[in-house]
Amino acid sequence: MVRLNSHDQREMDKAKDLIDTGPTTEMGFVRNLFFGRLRLDKVLPYPVQDEAEAKRTKSLLRKLDVFLDLSVNPDWIDRHQEIPDRVIRGLASLGVFGMTVPQEYGGGGFSHTGYCRALERISRTCASTAVLVGAHQSIGLKAIVLMGTEEQKQRFLPKLASGEELAAFALTEPEAGSDAANVQTTAVLEPGSDHWTLNGSKKFITNGALAKVMTVMARTPDPANPGRTKVTAFIVTPDLPGFEVVRPNRDKLGIRGTWQAELRFNNMYVPTDRVLGEVGKGLKVALGVLNYGRCTLSAGCLGAAKVLLEMAVRRATERKQFGRRLGDFQMIKQKIARIAQLTFAMESLTYLSAGMVDRHEDDMMLETAITKIFCSEALKEIADETLQIWGGEGYMADHGIERMWRDGRINTIVEGATEVMTSFVALMGMKGVGEEFEEVLHAITHPIGNMGRLAEFARHEWSDVLVGHHADGLHPSLHREGDELAHQTRSLARCVTRLLAGHREKIIDMQLLQKRIAWATINMYASTAVLARLNWMIGKAESNGGVEHIAQDLAVGTSFCHDAADRADRLLDDLFHNRDNETIAVADKVLGFDEEKADESHEGDEDDD
């Protein structure tokens, strides 16, 4: 057992708060991959809305499309850095602000899938407007829907669902961005008091200066561990004494129509009946909410990607250079193919994860995290390549590409920066494998009384790694791609076992290895989503007379799977053949960290004397 110093122990405790999601009845699809198990039964059949809700969603989308076309001007919103009240009122009249709120509280009672389709539509027109809606409904009021008491729901949800009031989610602080467990805002409950006293500040809070209700995270004393604290979620309203909007907004690169406020709580009294969920379980509230937010953020990315794909195709077919269409040149063809592949995969991932949310899957945190990482990074690439295809015209403000490029850039930062989420996927996935690995090592060194555990490992876990699973349930035309996925599942499990055996606890700090494991897994899950969707499309097409009309989708989807398989293979191979030490040494020299290390080494020599 490695002994940790006090600082590292505190960091480990915070990490456990983030990673310990509580008991689950069954591991999700992605977590099974790390054990070498390809559980396609968890993603097949591909989720679709039932007929009644699909009809209701289409009806809303038709009205929404008309409203967006007539009433929302994204360039005006970008220039003036505000969303007009008439736009907010119009969305409210359509019921957009309360789509996922249960009908008994005045909402539409739509599924998460239906809501994602609406966010996708709004994002096609204006990212700022989509972000305002998402901050309000995806995360702002969602904690009340998920964790609120009946009294809290009755009190706050009706006005939020109608759009009469807006909601916000206040987690980020000067020292707590992606490091969600590092919240510094405090809340203290005096003995016998009927209120908590909040002190602290928040920044980058979307809708913070507009919201009438917000979910706020603060540190509260941990009764079980005197001197320590845990995060608790509170419902805060701006009418509470001590609430202050320090700055309503800041000038920024993109999504300029949204407002990100800086807030301060000065001895703010919050009634005890405003606690959301359990005291000390605020990170559970936050992570639960973010499962929903990451799906809708991905839907927003998808809406923008579809527009950019259309614009890239139009430019490549209409623009001529050197007497030929741009689309006749192979480097442009490569860009078009890649944009199409990424967009198809984004849609497949977004609605697979939304379907998991609608099914109330017990373990889907890795799935929603991967969906967010993939879609946000894909949109960044798509926007950049579309701008390149358009050339100088794309750089001008006339066509909206440069605005979409700016708007899309925020998605790799918010709701978990890509770098943090990448480590999260790798470490969360390896956590269960590592725990079993430690159990088996203990059983080997203490065989008496542990023969049953060793036999179980030999019978199940080791056979998963060595023999693996087959891609059962796919249409015969997808068997090649399914077999590739099954092979990679075995390879991933072998690599994880080898890494854990070689590095043990040190793997926590080896982020370049984590990145390869995570992105291999991301490519595998994206391929799974694509195959599941193609499987559904083929079945539907065959029942309607033939697959000819989905030939383009089949070509795009299967080519994505082939490309993703190649990427995953390279990433897994590079785990054991790389120049990581050289890269780190160069970075340390540029940062001046090598001199710090030398100074620390000399200090250690003096101490020895």
For the annotated catalytic residues, the residue numbers are 415
Q: Which residue in the block uniquely carries the two structure tokens 């209700």?
A: 213
Q: Which residues contact 14 (CB under 8 A, 6 or more apart)?
A: 179, 181, 182
Q: Which residues pair with 276 in a beta bridge?
A: 233
Concatenating the DSSP letter of every residue in 221-254 gives E-TTSTT-EEEEEEEE-TTSTTEEEEES----SS
Which candidate, 374, 386, 378, 301, places its Cα nearest to that of 335? 386
Burial of residue 28, with CB atoms counted within 10 A of its CB: 0-12 exposed, 13-18 middle, 19 or more buried: buried
Q: Is 470 helix (H, G, I), strand (E, B) or coil?
A: coil
User: Token pair of 574, please?
Assistant: 């590079």
Instruction: Report residue 225: phi and psi, to 5°.
Output: -135, 85
DSSP string for residues in 474-503: S-GGGHHHHHHHHHHHHHHHHHHHHHHHHH
The whole-angstrom separation of Cα 322 and Cα 158 is 61
Interatomic CA distance for residues 413 and 255, integer angstroms: 13
CA distances 127 to 368, 409, 512, Å, are 21, 11, 32
Residues 6+ apart with CB under 8 A from 22: 284
Closest C-alpha to 143, from 269, 20, 257, 286: 286
Is the separation of the CB atoms in 487 and 542 below 8 Å?
no
* Helix, strand, coil % over all residues of the chain, rounded to 5: 65, 10, 25
Alpha helix segments (H runs only) across 112-208: 112-125, 127-134, 142-147, 150-162
Q: Which two tokens stand for residue 499?
A: 């890494």
Give the Cα separation of 247 and 262 in Å (integer).
5
Q: Which residues contact 587 (CB under 8 A, 6 or more apart)?
A: 593
> If 0-12 CB within 10 Å is exposed, 13-18 middle and 19+ buried, where does residue 53 land?
middle
